[in-house]
Amino acid sequence: MRRIYFPVLLKNLGRDQASTFVTLFSLETASRALMIAIVPLEAYRLLGSAFLVSLVYFATSGFGLAVSIFLPTIIHRITRRWAVTTGALCYAASAMLYLIGQPATLIAGLTLQVVGVAMLEIVINLYVLDNVPRRELNSFEPRRMFYTGMTFIISPGLGVYLHTVVMPGLTFICVAVCALTLLAYFWYVRLSDNGALQRAKAPPPKPIQFIPRFAKQKRLRLAWILAVGRSSWWIMYFVYMPIQAKAAGFSDEAVGILVSAGMVPMFLIRVWARIAKHKGIRPVLVFGYAAAGLATLCAGLLGAGAPQMSIVFLLLAALFATVIDGAGNVPFLRAVHPFERESMTSVYMTFRHTSSLLTPGLFVVVLAVAPLPMVFVASAGLGLAMAGLSRFIPRKL
């Protein structure tokens, strides 16, 4: 009788599933990126005040942070597959609420969108940890970042075009379609929870207890801080680079092109990944953070006297920021222990909501005492600090 070696078959299945997760991440990114430019514009139109818009975003970011921390308890109650289902339905519902176009529905839609982001990102990452072999994470993460980066290049401009040129509200309909497509695909591939890592009658987890446990592990702590730094730089780019470009005399159309141009270097992510494979992640991240920080510093120093040149340096900084994105979440994925993936992933993924809270807060203080270019100087200082911290990443990565 012919022998069948099941471990080999399972190993090959894990490799094939990498494409499944890239597809899931890409659909989630498309749902988010289609709205990334149009929702702030709609919020300003409906609320009539930049202060109110900032207040709404600040409040919903705090809500997203809470959901991220307490997600292990939610998963314990409803399992991962229903958490993904809930997250996708939250995306679709938020898009429909945006479509109504009232202040109350805008706030409710933004809240549901934050919940959807938290649930989908965390739970899909948990499935990645269960199904993609650890030794393949260094190649999987750049591939994921490449495809999601391409989605970010296309989707923001497409979302604005569909809403303003083709038909008002069409963007939100497309978002709902993307979210429901993600949900249908997820149930089609039939991903299952890793029963070996769960206890059938375990008591509900206590999320607040995960934070001290996370903070005691220096590799997890370092991965989280670096992720906050990476996310903070992109928040600065998407919010303040357009303001600087407008101040430099560029038209609205040109500003949109410039914002998208900063994402084009995502095509090089696989190049950075190959370099990291041969040289290690640590030198790549040190170089990426340092180069992006220095280029951003030049943009800040030139912001008042040569504003157009400052835009050139911001685009150069975006190129170096893609070097950082090439590593993505690898430092965390390689550091987390299998027996505490759910709890530690829920804490780690708070980096996005934490940066959404801290970055605008920092820049509000800066702008209270200094002109706009000092925002770039402050961001540069953060980038250079991240370069110094990257030196503590283990050499074996």
Give per-residue pLDDT as tens, 12-26: 334 456 778 888 888
Residue 192: pLDDT band (50, 70, 90) is low
* Largest interatomic CA distance in the chain: 80
Give per-residue pLDDT as tens, 146-173: 777 778 788 877 887 788 788 888 989 9
Give per-residue pLDDT as tens, 254-303: 766 777 778 788 777 778 777 877 778 888 899 999 999 999 999 999 98
The ranges assigned to domains in the chain are 8-188, 208-397
Place of tokens 């220096």: 218
What is the pLDDT of the chain when averaged over all its residues?
79
- Regarding predicted confidence, which is higher, 355 or 183? 183
Is residue 47 within 8 Å of residue 56, measured between CB atoms? yes
Distance CA 106, CA 35 (A): 12
Residue 67: pLDDT band (50, 70, 90) is confident
Between the alpha carbon of residue 19 and those of residues 143, 223, 396, the distances in Å are 9, 25, 26
Q: List the single range of 133-147, 149-163, 371-385 with lowest mean pLDDT.
A: 133-147
pLDDT for res 189: 85
- Hey, do 8-188 and 208-397 end up sharing a CATH topology, with the first three levels equal? yes
| Residue 251 φ/ψ region, left for φ over 0, alpha for ψ in the -120 to 50 degree band, beta for the rest | beta
Class of domain 8-188: mainly alpha
Is residue 15 within 8 Å of residue 136, measured between CB atoms? yes
Distance CA 190, CA 131 (A): 13
Q: Is the pLDDT of residue 50 over 70?
A: no
Residue 127's SS3 state is helix
pLDDT for res 253: 65
Average confidence (pLDDT) over 48-64: 72
Q: Over pLDDT 90: what percentage of the chain?
A: 20
The answer regarding whether domain 208-397 maps to CATH 1.20.1250.20 reads yes
Is residue 86 within 8 Å of residue 119, measured between CB atoms? yes
Give per-residue pLDDT as tens, 234-258: 888 877 777 777 778 777 667 667 7
Residue 200's SS3 state is coil
* Helix H or strand E segment including 192: none
Global pTM reads: 0.69
Name residue 91's amino acid.
Y
Is residue 172 within 8 Å of residue 35, measured between CB atoms? yes
pLDDT for res 11: 38
Average confidence (pLDDT) over 370-374: 84
Average confidence (pLDDT) over 318-326: 85
Is residue 332 within 8 Å of residue 222, measured between CB atoms? no
Give per-residue pLDDT as tens, 195-231: 444 444 455 555 567 788 888 888 888 889 999 999 8
